[in-house]
Chains A and B, each alone.
Chain A
Amino acid sequence: MENKIAVKVPVMADVVASGHQPEWLFWVGSAGAFDDRYRKVTREFAKILAYLGTDYAVLGAEESDSGDVARRAGNEMLFQMQVLTNIQILNGYGVKKIVSCCPHDYNTFKHEYPVLGGSYEVWHHTQFLQKMIESGKINIKSNPFDGKTIVFHDPCYLGRANNEYEAPRFILDALPALNVEMKRNRSKALCCGAGGGQMFKEAEKGNKEVFIERTEEAIATGADIIATACPFCMVMMSDGIKYKNQEERLKNYDIAELVSMSLGL
């Protein structure tokens, strides 16, 4: 089994210094870089990029928060400071295409950066993976999920905010597993509870936490795996699974992880 190969993650400053202009910028995002669980997703996605031989780079230490949380929590000043400094770096490297594993970053790059001077072609990683499957560059043959049932939880900022309901489902359909839906799905999906800055604060008084409501809905489908495509959703669903003591039975994976596992990376 000692068939491992090292994966080197190209950093924009080095790649550009060597005289090459990468096709893609992989925007890792704050959660992708610092959240313990989501780092695994970042790693799996980087492996897929390596497997595909994608011409890409990351910003590394030059990356800063996209500002989405600041904006939606009302701190417009901080948001715009982040945007303007990020744009200086992105435009400085002549970035054209961005792929991100975070729907919030995807949304803000796509819709909110252009007004402030940063226009890029922005892809969410599920859209990127869909494209790779469609074009035959990713060809799933193995069967790690045989007999398993997967339920997808729509992230608000991929779904309702950007009308992208099908890319994640297209990928799941390519996996050898049974896909089921929660009662509230696609544009009617219930939020995980972490958006709009909720991730960083205590929930207001109520009779339940949103993530528990949503996890219960996922559990009710009888699925073995909750597939997510957003770092916040992942924190919430994983917490929900723990809260409901379902860790033995129910797992939470990002779609990138499912693809990586199917490819045996």
Chain B
Amino acid sequence: MLKQLLFGLSLLITLGVFAYTMRRLFYNFRYTRPKKLRDFCKRLKITFEVAILQTKIMRFPFAGLLHALVFWGFIIILFGSIEMVVDGLAGTVRVFGFLGWFYDFLTGAGDVFAFIIFISIIVFLARRLFFTVNRFYGLEMKPVSKADANLALSFILLLMVSLLGMNTFYLLDAQAAGRAVVGSYPVSALLAGWFEGMSAGQMHFWHEFNWWFHILLIFVFANVLPYSKHFHVFMSVPNVFVSRIEPLGVVDNMDSITREVKLMLDPTLAADAPAEAPSRFGVADAEDVNWVNYMNALSCTECGRCTSVCPANITGKLLSPRKIMMDLRARMKEKGPGLAKEGGQYDDGKALLGSYISEEELWACTMCNACAMECPVNIHQPSIILDMRRYLVLEKSAAPGGLNAAFTNIENNGAPWQFSPHDRLKWAEELSMNKID
């Protein structure tokens, strides 16, 4: 009974802290701009492919496959974690055992996956600590980002060790006490051989220890995650669902501009055009992005696939698509509390564009979409980059000189170069070809 009480109390604290953090994070969504979602069926399909089947992460086959195994393993193991919560509250042991062969399957798969994840995490840690994987480096990868990554991996490593420990000593404990084993534990059965010399009391202790260690670590981890880039664990699947589903080449139309342009072309429309221009065109600060952009930022786990394929970054320019996402997330975290207190008027003298992201970064983008193509969770970095360019051009007239000249030419003579529209057919003059029979 004491055990149940202790468990219930820790669960309550976990949920309480988690709810508090979530409220603070999700409160920020109300400062973002709206964006409508359509095509729910298509979204479900994309979520199944990209999130569940992990198709995009496999584009980097080695790390991709390991990640997919970890992800699938987590899904299976989640079942066991839910069971632990029920067991903890109800004072039962392996309460879902009544599921029979299905339980054997889930526990067996979970046990094997725990081992696979353990190995994968060792590989991941080794890649970060002992090898030089280029995408783990970059201007935005400060020591704290690296520590964050290693901390998350260490958490998972300990979770897997304690899970395998729990299963191993569960087998030994049951054996010593003459109880029937519920479920199947192929890897732990092998590990059990190492500990057969232990006394029954020790076996019982280590089972209890690993059980508590595992579940409490989950509780702590769940509350560390929202402060870590590894919050991605919660956000990625929903992010894929709400992510952009248009082909990569499409840019969101600015309807506010359409109204203005139509008015310019036909002033008689003025009467029935309601004046609801946004506070500003484009994005200058965190609250100018739409809610999907912010969701993207919360889902980014800083893997750097985007930056590793960015032509600007590869050739030594400042732009890093990963940094754009990290900056948006950091800026929202910084500005959110002030916005909550003082509302939309809040001004801390800083802005996403300027204090975090420089014009130099934005103008280095070729809009090639290589970053978005690689993002395993369907983040669309170019749309934020473009929205900030839009702010610079539409609000500040601050485009680089060459582009301003191109704009002027398009306005004056319908081409980015200074040629007369009447010369548009020059290429066709004296055109002839060989006669082919």
Interface residue ranges, A against B (CB under 8 Å): 3-9, 11, 28, 30, 32-35, 39, 42-43, 46-47, 50-51, 58-65, 67, 69-78, 80-82, 84-85, 107, 111-112, 115-116, 156-157, 160-163, 187-188, 190-191, 193-210, 212-214, 263-265
Given contacts A65-B415, A160-B370, A196-B366, contact A74 B248 (CB under 8 A): no
A78 to chain B: which residues have CB within 8 Å? 407, 410-411
6 smallest beta-carbon distances between A and B, as pairs: A161-B249, A196-B367, A74-B389, A207-B316, A64-B414, A191-B368
Chain A contacts of B414 at CB under 8 A?
Answer: 30, 63-65, 82
Given contacts A51-B433, A163-B247, contact A112 B253 (CB under 8 A): yes
Which one, A73, A80, A111, contacts B406 given CB within 8 A? A73
The answer to whether A72 and B411 have CB atoms under 8 Å apart is no
A-B pair number, CB within 8 angstroms: 247
Partner of B309, one of A9, A163, A188, A198: A188
Residues of chain A contacted by B360 (CB below 8 angstroms): 204-205
Residue pair A264, B253 in contact (C-beta under 8 Å): no
B278 interfacial by beta-carbon distance below 8 Å? no
17 CB contacts below 8 A, A to B, read: A3-B435, A30-B414, A46-B428, A70-B410, A73-B389, A73-B393, A75-B393, A75-B403, A82-B414, A156-B367, A161-B250, A163-B247, A191-B368, A193-B315, A200-B402, A214-B311, A265-B436
- Interchain nearest-CB distance for B289 vs A (Å): 15
Which residues of the partner chain A approach B401 to less than 8 Å between Cβ atoms? 201
Q: Are B311 and A75 in contact (CB under 8 A)?
A: no
Residues 386-419 of chain B: 1 if any A CB is under 8 Å from the residue's CB, otherwise 0?
A: 1001111110000111110111001100111101
Q: If A63-B424, A161-B247 touch, does A187 touch B434 (CB 8 Å cutoff)?
A: no
Indicate which residue in B315, B392, B411, B433 contacts A209 across the interface (CB closer than 8 Å). B315
Q: Residue of B at shortest CB range from A232?
A: B366
Given contacts A5-B433, A84-B261, contact A33 B427 (CB under 8 A): yes
| Complex contact B410–A82 (CB within 8 A) | yes
Q: Are A213 and B315 in contact (CB under 8 A)?
A: yes
When the two chains form their complex, are residues B317 and A156 in contact, meaning their CB atoms are under 8 A apart? no
In the complex, what residues of A have CB within 8 A of residue B246's CB? 111
Among B262, B265, B400, B426, the residue within 8 A (CB) of A33 is B426
CB neighbours of B421 from chain A (8 A): 61-64
Contact B281 A76 (CB under 8 A): yes
* A residues near B319, Cβ cutoff 8 Å: 204
CB distance from A219 to the nearest CB of B (A): 16
The answer to whether B190 has its CB under 8 Å from any CB of chain A is no
Known: A4-B434, A75-B407. A210 touches B315 (CB 8 A): yes
Q: Using a CB-CB cutoff of 8 Å, which residues 280-319 of chain B contact chain A?
A: 281-282, 309, 311-312, 314-319
Q: Decide: A75 and B367 in contact? CB cutoff 8 A.
A: no
Closest beta carbon of chain A to B253's beta carbon, Å: 5
Residue pair A5, B406 in contact (C-beta under 8 Å): no
- Do residues B366 and A210 form an inter-chain contact, with CB atoms below 8 A? yes
- Quote the shortest CB–CB distance from B29 to chain A (angstroms): 25
Q: Which residues of B are found within 8 Å of A202, using beta-carbon distances?
A: 400, 402
**From B362, which residue of chain A is reached at the shortest CB distance?**
A74
A30-B416, A205-B316, A265-B436 given; 8 more Cβ-contact pairs under 8 Å? A46-B431, A51-B436, A63-B424, A65-B416, A76-B394, A107-B250, A111-B247, A188-B373
Tell me the bound Cα distance from A7 to B435 in angstroms: 10
Which has the most chain A C-beta neighbours within 10 Å: B247, B261, B373, B394?
B261
Asked whether B81 is an interface residue with its Cβ less than 8 Å from the other chain, the reply is no
Minimal beta-carbon separation of B248 from chain A (angstroms): 5
Question: Which chain B residues border A74 with CB–CB below 8 Å?
Answer: 282, 386, 389-394, 399
Closest B residue to A42 using CB positions: B427
Residue from A74, A156, A205 with most neighbouring chain B CB atoms (10 Å): A74
Min CB–CB distance B354 → chain A (angstroms): 16
Q: Shortest beta-carbon distance, B57 to chain A, in Å?
A: 14
B257 at the interface (CB under 8 A from A): yes
A73, A160, A203 — which one has the most chain B CB atoms within 10 A of its CB?
A73
Chain A neighbourhood of B422, CB < 8 A: 61
Q: Is B254 an interface residue (CB 8 A)?
A: yes
